[in-house]
Chain A
Amino acid sequence: MNPRRPSERASSPARKGGRVPQGASQSRAKVSDRLDSWVGHHSTTAAESLARLLRTPLQSLLTWLVVAVAVALPAALYVALSNVQNLGYSWQESSQLSVFVQRDARPDAISALQTRILERPDVLSVEHIPPDAALEEFKRYSGLGRVVEGLERNPLPDVLLVFPAEAGITPEGLEALQQELESEALIAEARVDMAWVTRLQQLMRLGQRLVLALAGLLALGVLLAIGNTIRLAIENRRDEILVVKLVGGTDAFVRRPFLYTGLWYGMGGGLLALLLVGLGLWWLSGPVAHLADLYQSQFRLQGLGWTHSVQLVLLSGLLGLLGSWLAVARHLSAIEPR
């Protein structure tokens, strides 16, 4: 196009009649166009707010780090907790009951008892340890061999080691099994070391609550940090907001770039938090595997997994969105053309 001087055109205004202002009917965009444009504005605003963040990389990185640390802390604790829980499950699987048989029980009665216990649906297997074998083992491992040799007769009873079926390995199931076994006349005592199972479960519950409380506090911190950053961004773009409002920008239009900025702060922080948790796991996994090997355990550290990782980033993004929403609701209405 060839630009002309305004004075040249002034002499022939009629020629341009179709394009110069005429009235409201011409100034309205079509509904379908407006929808397209609305979607378009969302995507361009999203891209522009991200580009704006990347234009001040250091400043943005600082905000991202603040969010990342606040998100990574509860996430790491959650990972630690679920690992302890996994460890707890593998220990529970080795749960067993020690059943002490009455001292004067006859061998055939004992083997009948063993068969009876084995037939129970909540029992996987039963192992019989005769008194002699038990004494032998005791002598070998206790270091009290001399003392044992001095005994006139074997003080140990027949012992049945009962391994419960998988479905029965709960504190309640084990307790029921124990009580039913003790009601047998031939059985003097059935012992199950359950206290640690319950203790572990209670500890886990406590841990979960602590993580939840910590996550709540840190989420509040993220809200405030992002809210404050957005407040500064609003202040920086005050002139633009005024002009946009003067030429007919709706509140939603004015709000949009700031909401996207908050979303990007949150999601970026979430991604960075994933990285932090991943680094921490990688750093610990070697020593943990080594330690587990020393205990002949197959235990290995578990990370967050795909689903939880995606959830973490989305949740963090949601926090960012919420934080910017709070700032925008509080500060945008204060900027009105005067």
Chain B
Amino acid sequence: MIRFDGVSKRYDGQDALARVDLEVAQGEMVFLTGHSGAGKSTLMKLIMLMERPSQGQVFVDGRNLNRLSRSQIPYYRRKVGVVFQNHQLLFDRSVFDNVALPLQIAGYQPAETGRRVRAALDKVGLLDKERQNPVVLSGGEQQRVGIARAVVNKPPLLLADEPTGNLDPELSADIMKLFRQFNEVGVTIMIASHDISLLKRMGKRVLGLSKGQVVHDGVLT
């Protein structure tokens, strides 16, 4: 699903990623870990095409991202769901409208949009909050709205950058359970996290990054 071929990313002469090779199979759930500045975010930004590599090639779903033109990027991004640490919700509209945004952009009919948004909100347990403004929700609930928005379009690949960074352990466990459910139905998932105990509990493959290089690959014990 994801393949990095000798990918480097340089910012002002500093290597954020240095000749990274990695492969994530379809349907896999992997964690990225490492200190801040190790290159986790850069790696995800390259997959989201928020950045282009200075060197090397990134393949997603068999497509070479270097070959995607600027005008193709939006259509590519519709197939990648993203969950942000600060959830990036819009506070000028309801929970429903936040989650519906990707569907409106992709051109779904209102009836279909409503059906899918409610299914996604039901999945994250927030169906009763659809009319509320996300600003009144708790941190955990806001993060779940962000997850609903990321999966509402049923993307084959889901990225999450520190999705539990601001949450207490109990809420983190809830969120992780959600990700695991999506993974069980075939979604490839990549989650960046520095919470080592969480990574150990999950028992999934972990990619450890340090100074822009992959220094660990395997289950943490």
User: Across the interface, do A27 and B178 meet the contact criterion of CB distance under 8 Å?
Assistant: no
**What 6 A-B pairs come out closest when comparing CB atoms?**
A6-B125, A248-B78, A3-B127, A34-B107, A37-B107, A248-B77
B-binding segment of A13-21, A61-69, A94-102, A257-265: A13-21
At the interface, yes or no: B32 with Cβ under 8 Å from chain A?
Answer: no
Q: Which B residues lie within 8 Å of A250 (CB)?
A: 71, 74-75, 105
Q: Which B residues lie within 8 Å of A22 (CB)?
A: 154, 185-186
User: Across the interface, do A6 and B107 meet the contact criterion of CB distance under 8 Å?
Assistant: no
A-binding segment of B16-24, B108-116, B196-204, B212-220: B108-116
Instruction: Report the minimum CB–CB distance from B148 to chain A (whole Å).
Output: 11
Q: Which A residues lie within 8 Å of B181 (CB)?
A: 10, 13, 20
Interface string of A163-175 (1 = CB under 8 A from B): 0000000000000
Contact of B79 among A10, A19, A24, A29 (CB under 8 A): A24
User: Across the interface, do B123 and A16 meet the contact criterion of CB distance under 8 Å?
Assistant: yes
User: Across the interface, do A33 and B109 meet the contact criterion of CB distance under 8 Å?
Assistant: yes
B-binding segment of A132-140, A219-227, A235-243, A302-310: A235-243
The answer for the CA separation of A336 and B88 in the assembled complex, in Å, is 14
The answer for the CA separation of A203 and B149 in the assembled complex, in Å, is 67
Instruction: Report the minimum CB–CB distance from A246 to chain B (whole Å).
Output: 6
The answer for the CA separation of A3 and B101 in the assembled complex, in Å, is 22
Secondary structure at the A interface, as helix, strand, loop or mixed, is helix
The answer for the CA separation of A338 and B144 in the assembled complex, in Å, is 23
User: Across the interface, do A1 and B118 meet the contact criterion of CB distance under 8 Å?
Assistant: yes
Known: A6-B174, A10-B177, A239-B90. A253 touches B156 (CB 8 A): no
The count of chain B contact residues (Cβ–Cβ below 8 Å) is 53
Q: Which A residues lie within 8 Å of B156 (CB)?
A: 21, 23-24, 27
Interface string of B160-172 (1 = CB under 8 A from A): 0000000000000
User: Across the interface, do B185 and A3 meet the contact criterion of CB distance under 8 Å?
Assistant: no
Known: A3-B127, A17-B185. A29 touches B107 (CB 8 A): yes
Instruction: Report the minimum CB–CB distance from A152 to chain B (whole Å).
Output: 99
The answer for the CA separation of A13 and B78 in the assembled complex, in Å, is 24
Contact of A3 among B76, B88, B105, B122 (CB under 8 A): B122
Q: Which B residues lie within 8 Å of A19 (CB)?
A: 119, 123
Inter-chain pairs besides A27-B153, A246-B50, 5 sampled, C-beta below 8 Å? A13-B185, A21-B185, A27-B156, A239-B90, A250-B105
Instruction: Report the minimum CB–CB distance from A127 to chain B (whole Å).
Output: 79
Instruction: Report the minimum CB–CB distance from B213 to chain A (whole Å).
Output: 23
